[in-house]
Amino acid sequence: MLSKKQAKVFFLGGTIFFSLIFLGLSYESVTKSIPKKTHADQITDAVRRGREIWDKNNCMGCHTILGEGAYYAPELTRVYSRKGETYIKTVLMSKTPWAPRGRKMVAYGMTEEEANDVVAFFKWVNEMDLNGFPPEPDKNLQP
């Protein structure tokens, strides 16, 4: 059994030790891992504008990206590799709403420049190293 003084030293020593580990790992993540895995150096003006369009249209109100957002519509983290640029631009530039699988997609009627910016944003997100997220769906499952 520890005395009160020994327990206090044990607690403070452990707190300091694990706080230093936490700070070291945080520093490494912020300065090395995150910029390397997200390719932050490849953020262009088109990517920035695409993100602004994404935010302005509240796409996260229906979609999920990088695990954040709503679950009404499909997850879009890897949409660029799944569907491709032409498909994405067609959807974004459509003048009429459409309802894939019964879920209605808003007709944004974007200009080609706006659609290109959103595609650039999706392409940048698609190229991030997310340690296997989102996982590939099991295509052997029965509906």
Q: Residue 137: its pLDDT value, please?
A: 65
Q: What is the DSSP letter of 138?
A: -
Q: Residue 49: its pLDDT value, please?
A: 97
Give 29-38's long-range contacts (Cβ < 8 A, gap of 24+): 36/129, 37/128, 37/129, 37/130, 38/128, 38/129
Question: In the chain, what are the domain boundaries?
Answer: 1-38, 43-143
pTM, full prediction: 0.75
Smallest CA-to-CA distance from 47 within 35, 55, 36, 58 is with 55
Split at pLDDT 50, 70, 90, the class of 139 is low
The CATH-assigned architecture of domain 43-143 is: Orthogonal Bundle (1.10)
Split at pLDDT 50, 70, 90, the class of 132 is confident
Contacts of 69 (CB under 8 A, 6+ apart): 59, 60, 61, 62, 63
Mean pLDDT for 53-82 is: 92
Q: Residue 125: its pLDDT value, please?
A: 94
Chain segment 2-60, per-residue pLDDT in tens: 899 999 999 999 999 999 999 999 988 888 777 778 788 889 999 999 999 999 999 99
Q: How far is CA 56 from CA 12, 108, 140, in A?
A: 47, 12, 38
Mean pLDDT for 54-83 is: 92
